[in-house]
Structure 1
């Protein structure tokens, strides 16, 4: 039987993701400051590339958090630590070398947080693994950044101590270390991209895959408590997904997808909400509960097939890549807002 998490533990992982997002924003601020302070063109070039990676990965983190489905605030200890580091970074108390040293420690913290979340997801279940999958990209790039920062620190440290330049051969050693990382992290390398965001088809497909996985897990369980936990996640995910589609996607595709086909999508989701509320009122231990979920799963399957065939084709044929990515960003934003509303109603957020 696949392990599941109760809401408290699920929220704890959500908080760890919120910690990572807060630290990611600090990393970006640091790198922007380093670019202003650095007078070495090669070091500046490396910080510029890190900055671009980290700005992109902030978007990846947003995707992971939205897909995971739990909106949380960073831990107070993390918030206090960030405030302290901001003051140190912006002040004159630390040398440039010492600031970069602190930055490397933050990168290490991000690496360990990302890997810990990934390992925890392996113990939880396939739906959580699917939701946090894009985190692999961030884990790999942060590890690669660590190796580059070691080279930067060696250059800056030697200059600070001797006033002379270090052996520039260190950059070669850094590249060798980064190449070795590619073998360790494998396919994570291929997930990197210059795109500012995933396109709307990618984001919707992630939702579809996750809910299908949850249905599979629910039907594989005979434990009423676990069944209730799986249904609770299905209920929240489908509700938030439908609201985001109705606010963002369907109005955007209506002009070229057609009034009748778009209305059909709206009507299907309206009926789905009725079915979900009916299931919510049922006893998960009753024999009729899984029959009801089977009806919902079949309806969702038909809806998914329509969206991923004709609607996706209409989007590909009528939207530019940039427009599709912008739609994905708006879709994630609405999902995030709805998830925060749910969390507040459940008393999980202040």
Structure 2
């Protein structure tokens, strides 16, 4: 734990009380939440990040997109625009945010919208002539002005929420009791060979409510890395530079290390805004591998076009049929 977090420990009870009281006011109806006449699925977490919300949103898009008109609604973190923006052919990572832009470039049929005011964002989507059949709210678990019909709470295997405390010493945005609002809890970034005993131990510690379901997932990494012009077989890569600007790069680093690959790692903070001197530094590298989220921000620089690749990933769920049935039952 960093020293600054230790000295901020006396603030933890204050933060806890404020966030607990806010939830209590919503739970008791003293602060109002708005419901809507179409299915709304919220994907979020209790922690400050790194739980795999983007892979989960993409999983839901693939599950629902063939039969339903799907829209995603995000805050659009670190975008240069304000208010409601609907992604189109002119959109960039700067105008709508890196993760929404990733959705936009990967899935042609969906609508991708951003708005820091989720109520307004939903209402604007519903005013469209071709309004969506359902909305996926990205990172909105604490946005309680909207009452989603189905809440998916993510918690990382290596940083389970019940082992953590609230900010500023811990990483939780709200007390652990906030987990009771979830319909489904998904433990993400698990080892592929996670044991039944470990699952039972986690389930016992989470202490699900009667109507809650628990699932376990892992990240499935592709066998090839992709660039604008080419693709390379992962196992055949020469020494490369790994560039990450995500909340938790450890699973990716561990995966590449266990593959026996040789690389240097340049690590930036989550949603990092790459500066000119960063691009100049990276332009000197012969081969760069990055995440898809970082790729959508870096690929606009011509100097990196021939050396920049990303490693695709997908979320895989244990007992996916039950998870899919729960989602489809709610949506239908």
**TM-score w.r.t. length of structure 2:** 0.26
More helix by share: 1
Higher RCO structure, 1 or 2 (CA under 8 Å, sep 6+)? 1
**TM-score w.r.t. length of structure 1:** 0.25
Radius of gyration: which is bigger? Answer: 1
